[in-house]
Structure 1
Amino acid sequence: MKMKTSDFDFKLPEKLLAERPATYRDEARLMVLDRKTQSIEHKEFKDLINYFDEEDLLIMNNTKVFPARLFGNKEKTGAKIEVFLLRELDPKAKLWDVLVDPARKIRIGNKLFFGDDGELVAEVVDNTTSRGRTLRFLFDGDYKEYRAKLAELGTTPLPKYIKREADEEDEERYQTIYAKEEGAVAAPTAGLHFSKHLLKRLEIKGVNFAEVTLHVGLGTFSPVQVEDLTKHKMESERAHISAETVEKVNRALEEKSKICAIGTTSMRAIESAVSANGKLNEFSGWTNKYIHPPYDFSIANAMVTNFHTPRSTLLMMISAFGGHDLVMKAYKEAVEKEYKFFSYGDAMLIL
């Protein structure tokens, strides 16, 4: 049976969208779905350790969120402008793809000033979409100083549904504790629940870890607008899978260990690099991999993920992995039991 986008719709009360994270990372709620028994259990995230044994493997996305939201003023009028840095096009030329808001009056040739005394200036050099622009930053110092200035003036790019300003707590909590490769404009949210203590306990138990990098873009939040879900186009995101990770993953496959993708971004990365014989390959480049039912997964046989919004590509991937009926039943239960949804929300483990 061919699935439609409306098959992934459900009523999500606004109060269930998490404005702030759980007090402690590993004390978020955890719903556990078992595909074999079709059962649903309710736990805490730190109980994750009970589902993994020696030589099992967790695959984690080590991307790091950069402070991508800038607030500035337009030259002459002084009008307030919000700029969201999407991707760096050319480090040497200091060129960026950005979104601007309000975009109506931001034209090619306009200059935008950032910081108290306009310590960073950008010129609009191209229109890309209705809200999209290409900016060239004008800065005299070297590249390292310029990037430091961008980071200093930028703020944590919380998702739009969180209406408050980002604060110091967000700087720490909208980042996984193992984040190291800077380049994401949104956090790989399933990983936000891991604490140092929980990682240590997993390590002591003999569980192994492998890292991939997928720099999450804003496309991750785009709902599917077409009823024929196969017509939706995913935005490309940069990914990297090292030889070391390939070796760990393929060994775990040979040993038939449990392999758990931490988050949809880790899952997209590994599924973008599968060889003809079902093993993992090294990868460095862009992926626009779009996973929806029906889909045969090659690498992971378990996954951790947050609770996603209706009609999202993320929910479609989860349904492809967990089975549509079980996942939608779990989501109904999550709403009834008031689980928290989306970026700062609770988590689900699918076995």
Structure 2
Amino acid sequence: MNGTNSPKTLAIADYTYDLPDHRIASYPLSNRDASRLLVYESGNIHETTYRQLADQVPAGHLLVFNKTKVVEARIYFTKPTGGVIELFCLEPHPDYPDVTTAMLQTGQVRWNCLVGGASKWKHGTILEKSVTYGDTTVHLTAAIDARNQDTFSILFTWAPDTLSFAELLHAVGVIPIPPYLKRDSNKQDSDRYQTIYAEMEGSVAAPTAGLHFTDQVFKELSDKGISRSFVTLHVGAGTFKPVKSEYIADHDMHAEFIEVDIATIEELLSYEGRILAVGTTSLRTLESLYWMGVKAYVNPRINIEGLEMKQWEVYEELGRHQLTAGQSLISLLSWMKKHQMVRILCKTQILIAPGYYVRMIRGLITNFHQPQSTLLLLVAALIGNDWKKVYAYALENDFRFLSYGDGSLLWCNKP
């Protein structure tokens, strides 16, 4: 029996609500943990703040965070004529096996980019930019390597060539705040559009549920016996991509790199049934791990490429295999040890939408998401039609929405 029903026939128009512009938080609060927290459980709603989060979570639970770090992915070039061309670095060229490898390239790298002002970039023209970085002058050039369907493959070359691409972005780039904020990024965003535990460089968008956490909140969680663990999913710009098709079947879900080490998977196993995901990216990582374990159970000879999660496969033949979270993680750990792997590093395109039920978590801490977005579909998968009740309450009670807004703790409704 297939325990996961396909959402392909869902109409995105059924997952919308009216979000006035003035309800979108353009700037963060001065104190991260002062943001309000809506708590939903079994149809009931109450509110508190992130500062009191420890009061809402039972002792003995594990919170799982995404430790990805936002990079300065926007680079602006000014042409001799005065025109500006913007390059938005989305993801590494397929030449590189993962984000980290591409970030560590020195002197030269290929990256897939969106190009603002592409019509002004004449064929064969090389863009140039020089900046002062510490006591060094950094010189960067950009050339079009190839034109893709929606993006451009850009060849970046720079000097001094001892700098990594990550360091280069620090020198010449700008933090890419979400487009719906409708403003330029500023110095404050460099700090506040980053979690306090961000470590692994590679995202072009923040895992925003984590923006509310402070050292004080962490201390209070620890004092109560609530643990924390960290995974990595490098967030792509696709997280802001609205569903433009009438039905979900025609939406192309973005793929993102995940990285989780074996010690973390062993920890997840020890907390089976007592896990909360902090953010939709952490949830997508955890559910991807579950299905990777299922794949390893079905085919112990599978390779790492075969473990990559495609958009629809959990709703197809793969979904017919029903393991507990513990059984799946044991299968994945066995596969890793057999292949002498200390970490899982691959892509996931998993789509979590109504019809899907989560295997790995009891609840989700997350912000309030855009209408007709895959993130709102994910929320609806967890709590069903009560997503409408949650969002109506948030709107009626002046909660702040989207990346810099308030958040919610959603305890999952059982299927």
Same fold (TM over 0.5): yes
Superposed counterparts of 1:289-308, under 5 Å? 289-308=350-369
Of 15, 19, 35, which residue of structure 2 is paired with 1:12?
A: 19
After TM superposition, the score normalised by the length of structure 2 is: 0.79
Match in the other structure for 1:185 = 204
Structure 1 residues 77-104: Cα deviation after superposition (integer angstroms, max 9, x where no partner): 4421111111232545411111111222
Aligned residue for 1:51? 56
Deviation at 1:145, TM superposition (A): 5.2
Unaligned ranges ≥5, structure 1: none
User: Distance between the aligned counterparts of 2:111 and 2:124, measured in 1?
Assistant: 15
CA contact (8 A) 1:304 1:349 kept: yes
Note if 1:336 corresponds to 2:341.
no
Distance of 2:124 and 2:70 partners within structure 1: 29
**RMSD after superposition:** 1.8
Q: Partner of 1:270 in structure 2?
A: 286
1:79 correspondence with 2:80: no
Counterpart residue number, 1:168: 187
Task: Confirm or deny: 8 A CA contact 1:260 1:300 kept in the other structure.
Answer: yes
Alpha-carbon separation, structure 2, partners of 1:107 and 1:61: 40
Aligned AA (2:361):
A
Q: Which residue of 2 aligns with 1:313?
A: 374
Task: In structure 2, give the amino acid aligned to 1:320.
Answer: A
With normalisation by structure 1, the TM-score equals: 0.93
Query: Residue 119 of structure 1 aligns with which residue?
Result: 139
Aligned residues: 343
Structure 2: how far apart are the matches of 1:98 and 1:335? Answer: 36
Aligned to 1:326: 386
- Does the 8 Å CA contact 1:107/1:127 hold for their aligned counterparts? no
Deviations 1:126-161 (A, max 9, x none): 11135x211111223235355423211111110112
Q: Distance in 2 between matches of 1:304 and 1:146?
A: 33
After TM superposition, give the deviation of residue 232 of structure 1 in Å.
1.3
Q: Which residue of 1 aligns with 2:408?
A: 348
Q: What residue number does 1:98 align with? A: 113
Q: CA offsets per residue over residues 143-186 of structure 1, 9 Å max, x none?
A: 53554232111111101122222222111110011100000000
- The structure where helix makes up a greater share of residues is 2
Three-state SS of the structure 1 residue aligned to 2:174 is: coil
Work out which of the residue numbers 266, 274, 287 in structure 1 matches 2:348: 287
Name the CA distance, whole Å, in 1 between partners of 2:171 and 2:250: 40
SS of the residue corresponding to residue 100 of structure 1 reads strand
Question: Amino acid of the residue matched to residue 291 of structure 1?
Answer: I
1:232 and 1:146 map into 2 onto residues whose CA distance is 32
* Inter-CA distance 80–341: structure 2 relative to 1 (3 Å threshold): same
Deviation digits for residues 288-312 of structure 1 (CA, Å, limit 9, x no counterpart): 1111001121100111000001000
1:211 is aligned to 2:230: yes
Structure 2 counterparts to residues 57-76 of structure 1, below 5 A: 57-74=62-79
- Residue deviations 1:88-128, cap 9 Å, x none? 32545411111111222335422112245982111111111
Q: Which amino acid aligns with 1:51?
A: Q
The 2-side partners of 1:43 and 1:57 are apart by 20
Q: Contact 2:138–2:160 (CA<8 Å) still a contact in 1?
A: no
Query: Cα distance, 1:73 vs. partner?
Result: 2.0
Q: Aligned partners of 1:10 and 1:147: how far apart in 2?
A: 39
Q: What is the rounded CA distance, in whole Å, between the counterparts of 1:199 and 1:106 in structure 2?
A: 48
Alpha-carbon distance between aligned partners in 1 of 2:401 and 2:232, rounded to the nearest angstrom: 24
CA contact (8 A) 1:72 1:115 kept: no
1:23 positional shift: 1.7
